[in-house]
Amino acid sequence: MHKDQYEDLILRFTKELHEVGVTDEMKKIVEAQYNRTPNVVSCSADDNVRKFCYRHDGYEIEAVQNVRLVIKKCK
Per-residue pLDDT reduced to its tens digit, 5-59: 778 888 888 889 988 999 899 989 998 988 888 788 888 999 998 999 999 999 9
| pTM of the model as a whole | 0.74
Domain range for 9 is: 3-72
Number of structural domains in the chain: 1
| Gyration radius from the chain CA atoms | 16
Dist. CA 67–CA 50, nearest whole Å: 9
Report the 10 Å Cβ neighbour count for 49: 13
Q: What is the pLDDT of residue 70?
A: 92
